[in-house]
């Protein structure tokens, strides 16, 4: 962890050069916005890239909420397989939905990195292969925007959902909760569960939305049961009658769930049951 913090500090210096607004001066709120009474700052979406300890060009989007303040929540979103450039990421249904919710409800930052295309293969490791770079970026942005460290959540879709569970299990001190949308797809090379992760996720609640497919349901329920047995919190919502793509849409479109509000409300180490 000390190595990650040192790398994050170096990355923060690079970010400050790219985004001067990261550095809040006297009388300014996080993100460089004025703290003067009556001043209003619009929400914004910025794209950029940084050099990390393992990647020369780690691209990402950062959604900044309107009227930002210190100690706001941040959602880190990991996309699924086949999102090969920022243009496609900007149209990603889950990412767009999260930004829409942030605009309508209590604001939060949303960090959406782009997995370098050369890693978007099972043989190359996918998201877990760039785990150190992801942690460097998360830590640097959290420092720069004075994010509430107890409310950094992790969301992922498809392959990104599998990676979210694995990465949070490796770094339970970083993430407050996880929303996994259609993890454990039968064709995903990194779709797996290891019982050793259960103890690590004891204080990182996991909410999973699963396609109606036997293998995916079995793996999700195995993960849920192991986390609960370890003293943690986990929920599985099966999208009945829905395949991989339809289950994603169904999870986002259902009026019965409020994924966004749940994620920004969870603060380490406990969570409320999602309703």
How far is residue 99's CA from residue 103's CA, in Å, rounded to a whole number?
Answer: 6
Q: Round the CA-based radius of gyration of the chain to a whole number and report it.
A: 18
| pTM for the predicted model, two decimal places | 0.86
With H, G, I as helix, E, B as strand and everything else as coil, classify residue 202. Answer: coil
- Specify if 121 maps to a domain: yes
Q: Any residues with CB less than 8 A from the CB of 6 and at least 6 apart, and which? A: none
Quick check: is 273 in a domain? no
Q: 8 lies in a domain? A: yes
Rounded to 5°, the CA angle 188-274-242 comes to 40
DSSP state of 106: S
Determine, yes or no, domain membership for 94. Answer: yes
In a domain, 270, yes or no: no
- Number of structural domains found in the chain: 1
Helix (H) or strand (E) holding 208, with range, is strand 206-211
Q: Which domain holds residue 228?
A: 2-265
Per-residue pLDDT of the chain (275 residues; tens, 9 = 90+): 444 444 444 443 444 333 333 323 222 333 444 344 457 899 999 999 999 999 999 999 999 999 999 999 999 999 999 999 999 999 999 999 999 999 999 999 999 999 999 999 988 999 999 999 999 999 999 999 999 999 999 999 999 999 999 999 999 999 999 999 999 999 999 999 999 999 999 999 999 999 999 999 999 999 999 999 999 999 999 999 999 999 999 998 865 678 999 999 999 875 555 54
Contact predicate 162/211, CB 8 Å? no
CATH number of domain containing 254: 3.40.50.1820
Q: Is residue 275 part of a domain?
A: no
């Amino acid at each position: 962890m000390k190595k990650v913090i040192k790398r994050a500090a170096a990355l923060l210096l690079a970010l400050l050069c790219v985004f001067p607004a990261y550095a809040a001066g006297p009388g300014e709120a996080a993100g460089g916005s004025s703290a003067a009474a009556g001043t209003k700052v619009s929400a914004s979406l910025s794209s950029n890239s940084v050099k990390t300890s393992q990647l020369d060009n780690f691209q990402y989007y950062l959604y900044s909420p309107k009227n930002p303040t210190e100690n706001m929540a941040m959602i880190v979103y990991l996309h699924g397989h086949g999102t090969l450039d920022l243009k496609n990421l900007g149209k990603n249904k889950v990412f767009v939905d999260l930004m829409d919710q942030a605009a309508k409800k209590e604001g939060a930052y949303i960090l959406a990195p782009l997995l370098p295309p050369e890693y978007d293969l099972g043989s190359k490791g996918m998201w877990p292969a760039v785990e150190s770079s992801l942690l460097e970026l998360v830590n640097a942005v959290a420092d720069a925007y004075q994010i509430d460290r107890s409310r950094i959540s992790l969301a992922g879709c498809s392959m990104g959902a599998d990676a979210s569970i694995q990465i949070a299990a490796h770094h339970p001190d970083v993430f407050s909760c996880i929303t996994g949308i259609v993890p454990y797809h039968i064709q995903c090379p990194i779709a797996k569960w290891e019982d050793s992760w259960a103890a690590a996720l004891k204080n990182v609640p996991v909410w999973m939305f699963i396609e109606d497919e036997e293998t995916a349901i079995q793996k999700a329920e195995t993960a849920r049961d192991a986390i609960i047995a370890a003293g943690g919190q986990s929920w599985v919502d099966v999208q009945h009658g829905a395949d991989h793509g339809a289950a994603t849409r169904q999870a986002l479109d259902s009026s019965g769930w409020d994924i966004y509000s749940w994620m920004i409300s969870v603060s380490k180490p406990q969570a409320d049951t999602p309703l």
